[in-house]
Each structure stands twice: as structure tokens, then as C-alpha cells.
Structure 1
Amino acid sequence: MNAPLHMRWDDRGQQSLLARAETLIQAPGRSILGIAGAPGAGKSTISEWLLEHLLARYPRQVALVPMDGYHLAQSVLEARGLEHRKGAPDTFDGVGYVAMLTQIRAQTTQEFYAPIFRRDLNDAIAGAVPIPPETRLVITEGNYLLLDEAPWNNVAGLLDETWFVELDQDERLRRLTARHLIFDNDAAIAERRATGNDENNARLVAAGNHRSTLVIEHTPSVVTTGSGE
């Protein structure tokens, strides 16, 4: 396996990434682009930026399906005593996510729908992302696209490219803590979540770096918007 390319998240890198995504749109059939990385690295920010820019040029031809839509319901996590580990691989419906990616690849004649995760509700919402037949590129982002354990190890083979997002560790933890504060409103709890369960998950994610197509160095000096996932 070849070592992944490295690109900085600056003007030059952004234009190169857009060009790569446009190549996928113009390829025969429907393409799937995966954007992976640790919690707080900036996957959502980059995915949403890419979606916005591509839709401006290719209306209705690009969709974003985050892996987070496959969180197990909060009621299921609580029933299984897993709520404190929310975000770990076994707190997702990985089999369902793989099935959706397979459907995205195969079902190109009828519109269907994918779920999203709502942080304000702390739960997934079904049928939230329409994928019409004219969709040429689906972007999917999440922690475990390159995780080498079942069922996640089936994901990479369904993707045309996978981009791995990296961010300075201190900045990533700062962003995670700030994000948790929005919902927890308790600095001690927010910090404990960022350095505890989230950090355990980040170590799992980091092992997939070398299996990506390219690595995006998401420098904190660039001002961006989004959830920062």
C-alpha cells in the first residue's frame, strides 16, 4: 500500500481537494468519498465546506451522509449500560452503516433517505438526508471509516477515496471540550469527556491514518465553521 498524500488545509490545499472531488463526480457511476479522523479533528467542518462548494457547481449531484446518523438510540444505550461510552465503535449500528453504503453504491434509480445525528436531541433522526437518483457523489464522514475490525473493516472497500483529517492534539482537545460545554454546561464534565472516552476513541481512529488516500493537515490557524467533528 502506498503512503498517503499529505495536504494542508489552506487555499492551495482546498483547491486541490475540490479538484479531486470533482474528478469523482465526473467519474462513471456514483462515487463515495470518505472523510475520517479523530473526534474534534474537523471532519464535519471539512465535509460541510466541501458539500457547500460542490453543490454550487453541481446542484443535487452531491449529498452528505455522516456516520453519526448510525448512533444507537439513546434508549438502547441506556438499556445496555453503554451511555457513558457513547461514540465508541460498539455504540453505533455499524452493520446498518455498511448496508447504507452498499445501497448508496447500488441504488441509483430511486430516491432513498439516510439518517442524521442531532446533538441538540442527543439522538439520531431517520429519513433526514435525501439521496436522489441524480446524486453523483456521496460524502460520508466519521470516526471509524478505516477501523480494522468487523463490521467497520467492510467500509473502506465501499469508498472510492478516504481522506484522513489530522489536527494538533492540544487544539483538538480544546475544541472537543468547548463543544461538550455547549451541551453539558459543566467544565469538569466537558473536560472529562474530551480526555476520557473521546480520547480512547481517538487512539482507535489514529491507527487508520496510513490506510487513507490522503491526510489533511487541518491547521488551527485557518478560521472555519461547523461542528468540528
Structure 2
Amino acid sequence: MEEQVERLVQKTWDKFQDAPASKRLMIAVSGIPGSGKTTLAAKVASKLNEKYCATHPGLQSYTSIATFLPMDGYHLTRAQLSAMPDPHTAHARRGAAFTFDAPAFLELVKKLRQPICPETCTIYAPSFDHAVKDPVAEDIPIARTARIIMMEGNYLSLGSGAPEWKEAAEMMDELWFVEVDEDVARQRLMKRHVESGIAANEDEGKKRADENDLVNGKEIMEGRLEVHEVIQSREDSGWKPEEQGIDRERDGGTPRV
């Protein structure tokens, strides 16, 4: 994985050098559940910040030029799911494209696409609180100095379903897609569900993966737009989220997006 990350970091860095100061470089990393897109996006963002600090010796080590932005916060709330015509299915399928607030996500992308100027204020995106099992509004700050936005989520290169997904994807500078063998994804998801307590055992974890996660994965694959990068995810130590301190636990059985 490290070789792939280094190549993508360098590619992004080179594009950043050519970007005008008034523009953010926006990259969306997508893939099916269990593909490792969260791990990849977080590592690229972290290494970009390391590179920026290394090339600007006077800066503090915590200075960030890249912001890692998961779309977890755009899950519909449990109350919104309960208000749907079929609340049982809505809760059971939490994590499917229709259980996200696509219009709100598009609105964030439009804000980030506005030119950066001295008057530009910090923009806030929602996060997801696993304790309360719902999004937290305006919890992730995106400062004016955040010139590279590394977004990650299942549906960031989706051209089908709600039109907002496609419109948001077309506003990105690059779309990256993490491909993974379905059996590898199934094993990762099964383990994730058991470790998080969503499933009591491996059989339940596999059932959850097959009946929700990989059903969503099929939609993601079939509706995928043309992307700039396809990254192969394999079962090696580089794809372990724990290395970046990434919380793998999800609410109600929904996969990390």
C-alpha cells in the first residue's frame, strides 16, 4: 500500500503546486464498503501535511494544508429514518445511498468550491457520533488555509440515484476509486461487525455484510462514474485502519463509508 500512497501523495502535491491560491484542490475517494477507502484517504492527507511542514521549516508541526473529510456526518438521523414510509427498512439499510442527505452534501461541496479570499470564513461539516448514533452538525472545521480536501465515502463517484451525487462528483478535481475483491471486503466487514458488537458471531457478521454492505457495493460498482485513479486494495498490513487511529465502529450495522 505504501508505494501506492506515495505515488498519490506526489501526484496530489504536484497538482497543488499548480493550483491558484484562490482554489481548493478537492479529491473524492470512494469504493464499496470494506474497500479501505477511509484508510487510504486518511494516509494521503496525513502525508501531505507532513510534506507541507517539511517544505516550510518555520511552520508548527500541526499546521495542516490538507483536511481529511469523511461523509459519515451526512447520514440521515434516526428520527429522519423513522419518519420514512418504511422505517423498518430504512433503519435496516442504514448506510445505503438513500439513507444519506445528498442535497446537504452537495451544498457543502458548493461552499468549498467558492474562491478563497481574505474574507473567507471557516466552513464546518458534520461528523458522526457513535455514542449517540447520529450526526453532529458543524463539527469538522475546514479552515481557509485548508487548500486540499481529501473526501471519502461510498457514493462520491456515484452517477445513479439521487442527482446530487453526480453533481457533487463532477465538481471534484479528481475521483479516486478503491477496488477490492468481494471476498476480501466480506471478511473485513464480517470482522468489523463482530468487533463492534453489531453481530454476535461471524455468521451474523457475514449475513449483515451480504444483505446490506455488499448490496450497497453492487449499486456503487454499477453506478460508478469514470474516475481518475483506480487503486487496488489487498489484504496486507498497510490497509489496517488501526495504523491511522481510524475508528472502524459504525452505528446500527452501517459500514464506514
Structure 2 regions of 5+ residues with no counterpart? 53-62, 242-247, 249-255
Question: 1:21-170 counterparts in 2 under 5 A?
Answer: 21-26=12-17, 27-28=19-20, 29-58=23-52, 59-80=63-84, 81=87, 82-106=90-114, 108=116, 109-149=120-160, 150-170=163-183
**Is 1:12 matched with 2:3?**
yes
Asked if 1:184 corresponds to 2:198, the answer is yes
Supply the AA of the counterpart residue of 1:204. E
Rounded to whole Å, the distance in 1 between the matches of 2:33 and 2:239 is: 16
| 2:5 partner letter | Q
Cα distance, 1:121 vs. partner?
3.6
Which deviates more from structure 2 when the two are superposed, residues 100-109 or residues 135-144? 100-109
Residue 208 to residue 214, structure 1, CA distance change in 2 (3 Å): farther
The 4+ residue runs of structure 1 with deviation greater than 4 A are none
Q: Which has the higher contact order (CA 8 A, sep 6+)?
A: 1
Check conservation: 1:45, 1:224, Cα contact below 8 A: yes
Q: Distance in 1 between matches of 2:188 and 2:131?
A: 17
Distance 2:16 2:114 in 1: 16
Structure 1 residues 162 and 129, CA gap change in structure 2 (3 angstroms): same
User: Alpha-carbon deviation of 1:120?
Assistant: 4.3
Shift of 1:15: 1.5
Aligned to 1:203: 218
Q: Any gaps of 5 or more consecutive residues in structure 1?
A: 1-8
Identity %: 30
Q: Is the alpha carbon distance of 1:24 and 1:207 closer, same or farther for their aligned partners in structure 2, counting shifts above 3 Å?
A: farther
Question: What is the RMSD computed on CA atoms of the aligned residues?
Answer: 1.8
Q: TM-score, normalised by structure 1?
A: 0.89
Q: TM-score, normalised by structure 2?
A: 0.80
Cα contact 2:81–2:99 (8 A) shared by 1: yes
Q: CA contact under 8 A between 1:95 and 1:151: conserved in structure 2?
A: yes
